[in-house]
Structure 1
Amino acid sequence: MIGIFMRAVPALFAFLFGAAAPAQASQDIPDQYPGSVLYSKPVEFIPNVFSAIGATAPPTYENSGHNNNLSFILTGEGVVVVNGGASWKLAEALHEEIKKVTDQPVRLVVNENGQGHAMLGNSYWRAQGVKIVAQEEAAQEFGATGYDSLAAAERIQKEKADGTEVVLPDETFEESYRVAFGSFPIEVLNLGPAHSPGDAVVWLPEQSLVISGDMAFHERMLPIFEETDTAAWLVSWDEGFEALNATYVIPGHGHPTNMDQVRRYTKDYLVYLRGKIRAHLDAGGSLADAYYVDQSPYRHLDTFEELATRNAGRVYEQMEFE
């Protein structure tokens, strides 16, 4: 199966086993699956684990808001979906793709965080009678911001957002949620503060594969929000995420890869940026100048232009009081 996948997606395996090539994703790549609102057709990464890779650009009408990865696992006793999707129509389109490869029913949807593209599709899954699970802080975040996320989706996606409603998860957990359908023990873990409140990863210990959500990035620049604690993210990385020792990583954005790649563009980027800001602070530098610290080693990443200066400013504001 992996051999077939290598022939189908050679660039992906350059990431997996080459690790030295620059990221290949681009905001200029057009919709890869014109027959569907999904940005790309789900592909089987390892046996029974599929992912529809979203655009690495910000959400647009053209990509239908599908700018994160929508994954699913065929357990033999039902399907586990990772991410509700950014709309009813995206969730419905993913479900249609699931039906093409299995007659197993969808039994569980895991929301990887409280952002709109993880939870707005919950409305579709609730209508199908599927249980939805998220970390408790993610559910609280979506409860507070869900209607803003829906308004943004309706503004960007227009009629593609029809039918979408704000639906909270059925069940929440604090540190871990475990299920064992068929031959796939699945662990949903909150490894500590990271990109946004309630980030969760889906860990398949027997396959040594982690669906990392926004704990890990590699083809696009990671965004640092006002609530993102970059120092705590580094602790969560070392003590939680790195400790998984995963062989395979399906990130929240971008193609499946390995730990070396996501370490290079997540942990190493955070360390790099914090180092630049620390030197800037020690030299008495201002916030206005902090926006322009050198981030050129990461200029090739998608969304660099949208995020680099904003990231620098937010890290400055955090580190000023550390």
Structure 2
Amino acid sequence: MKPLLLTAALLCATAATASEQIADKYPGSILYDEPVEVIPGVWSAIGATAPPTYENSGHNNNLSFIVTGDGVVVINGGAAYGLARALHDEIRRITDQPVKLVFNENGQGHAMLGNAYWAEQGVPIVAHEDAAHEIEEYGGTVLEGMKRYNRDKAEGTTVQGPTETFSDEYIVDMGDFHIEARYLGPAHSPGDIVVWLPEQSLVISGDMAFHERMLPIFQHTYTADWLETWETEFEPLGATYVIPGHGHPTNMAQVRRYTHDYLVYLRGKIREHIDAGGDLSDAYYVDQSPYAHLDTYEELATKNAGRVYEQMEWE
């Protein structure tokens, strides 16, 4: 396995190029793709940018880990017991250092449904307190949804919450790495955290930042709050390298274009629509063509517009 070098071409990327039609990249594993080394010691198994399916085994987010020299820190439990086990197999091929800690980037299925595997290994699992509440409240429903698409690949998966929670930050000094798990404020979903490596100027952003696929706006995604968190907390990190929740590693300019700037654009279009007396039924079809090349555009664009209308109608 060769390191993924963040070349000038990547760092200056201006357009998303991922495709939902790309077949499984790693037939020898249920992982969608094998882990790549983003910078020395920091690895990520990049998931599909399509919705979760049986074909991608639910590996449609990034499963990252840090080989610190004194143990391994994993970011995301994975969308199923089998995915967590497959990731652990890859870690063991790379290093004989034990996994000592797992972070869940939020309470969504792709972040936490593999927790039961890690708990069996005796590894502490850490999440934000709001993510823990989401898992407790909705974990059973999320699990049933995963079973429907993943069928036999869901074997062994049960709902396992974090063993530790935090409210603002969780700091770890392990081996050669100073690791800061931070809750920056409301963003994509309750309990979203980022994992910041200040000495490497790298952020594992989770669902704070998107670029190759269209971001989803959920019922509990308050876009005005997400923008405020971005502008006051996330962007000021000044990260050189960004491993987003979905899609390949990139830089801050790229995720700003497809997260912050998309939210500003969509809110602007909805504001124009509201000011012109438009209603919800037409709001779904405001022009989002500048983002039509993104994966999951067809699945999400109209839903996003409707939810932003419902929010902004009362702002």
Q: TM-score of the superposition, structure 1-length normalised? A: 0.96
- Residues 1:15 and 1:258: Cα distance change in structure 2 (over 3 Å): farther
**1:144 aligned onto 2:137:** yes
Contact 1:15 1:258 in 2 (8 A): no
State the Cα RMSD in Å: 1.2
**1:96 aligned onto 2:89:** yes
For residues 278-297 of structure 1, what are the structure 2 equivalents within 5 Å?
278-297=271-290
Shift of 1:15: 5.9
Paired residue for 1:268? 261
Match of 1:110 among 77, 99, 103: 103
Match of 1:32 among 25, 31, 49: 25
Match of 1:120 among 80, 94, 113: 113
Post-superposition Cα deviations, 1:59-113, rounded to whole Å, max 9, x if no partner, equal: 0000000000000000111000000000010000000000001110000000000
Question: Secondary structure of 1:63's partner?
Answer: coil
Post-superposition Cα deviations, 1:210-256, rounded to whole Å, max 9, x if no partner, equal: 00000000000000000001000000001110010000000000000
Post-superposition Cα deviations, 1:269-322, rounded to whole Å, max 9, x if no partner, equal: 000000000010000001000000000000000000000000000000000000
Question: Secondary structure of 2:4's partner?
Answer: helix
Instruction: Determine the C-alpha separation between the residues in 1 that align with 2:96 and 2:4.
Output: 22
For residues 172-251 of structure 1, what are the structure 2 equivalents within 5 Å?
172-251=165-244
Instruction: Determine the C-alpha separation between the residues in 2 that align with 1:17 and 1:65.
Output: 28
Instruction: Determine the C-alpha separation between the residues in 1 that align with 2:118 and 2:265.
Output: 40
Contact 1:13 1:257 in 2 (8 A): no
Shift of 1:14: 6.4
Question: Secondary structure of 1:89's partner?
Answer: helix
Instruction: Determine the C-alpha separation between the residues in 1 that align with 2:223 and 2:192.
Output: 14
Q: TM-score of the superposition, structure 2-length normalised? A: 0.98
- Residues 1:33 and 1:257: Cα distance change in structure 2 (over 3 Å): same
Instruction: Determine the C-alpha separation between the residues in 2 that align with 1:19 and 1:35.
Output: 30
**1:18 aligned onto 2:8:** no
Instruction: Determine the C-alpha separation between the residues in 2 that align with 1:218 and 1:282.
Output: 29
**1:5 aligned onto 2:4:** yes
Shift of 1:13: 4.1
Instruction: Determine the C-alpha separation between the residues in 2 that align with 1:302 and 1:174.
Output: 33
Shift of 1:17: 2.4
Paired residue for 2:302? 309
Match of 1:77 among 65, 70, 74: 70
Match of 2:162 among 169, 173, 176: 169
Number of residue equivalences:
315
User: Runs of 5+ in structure 1 lacking a partner?
Assistant: 7-11
User: Runs of 5+ in structure 2 lacking a partner?
Assistant: none
Instruction: Determine the C-alpha separation between the residues in 2 that align with 1:164 and 1:93.
Output: 13
Instruction: Determine the C-alpha separation between the residues in 1 that align with 2:48 and 2:11.
Output: 22
Question: Secondary structure of 2:224's partner?
Answer: helix
- The percentage of counterpart residues that share the same residue type is 70
Letter in 2 for 1:86: A
